[in-house]
Amino acid sequence: MKKEYDFSKARRNPYASRLRKPVTIRLDGNTITYFKDLARETGIPYQTLINLYLRECAANGKKLSMAWKTAT
């Protein structure tokens, strides 16, 4: 290992904007269990499965359909 390194000709990572960013998200237990079970079946980590599912939803422009009941 060198004592000093010359970074004067270094350039930024062009893929840095594509890196994953850590976030905190609250999920109910049934959702976590579902993805963990799916992870065991597929051999893919459950967080990766959640990311893949959300990415697919975003790519397809999937919207959540919700209807609130009005109080009578």
Distance from C-alpha of 62 to C-alpha of 60, rounded to nearest angstrom:
5
More confident residue, 1 or 62: 62
Asked if residue 71 belongs to a domain, the reply is: no
Domain count, the chain: 1
pLDDT recorded at residue 70: 85
In one-letter notation, the amino acid at residue 61 is G
Is the pTM value of this prediction over 0.85? no
Residue 8 pLDDT exceeds 80: yes
Q: Work out the pLDDT band at 17, boundaries 50, 70, 90.
A: confident
In one-letter notation, the amino acid at residue 30 is N
Tens digits of per-residue pLDDT, 51-70?
Answer: 999 999 999 999 989 888 88
Domain that holds residue 41: 27-59
Asked if residue 17 belongs to a domain, the reply is: no
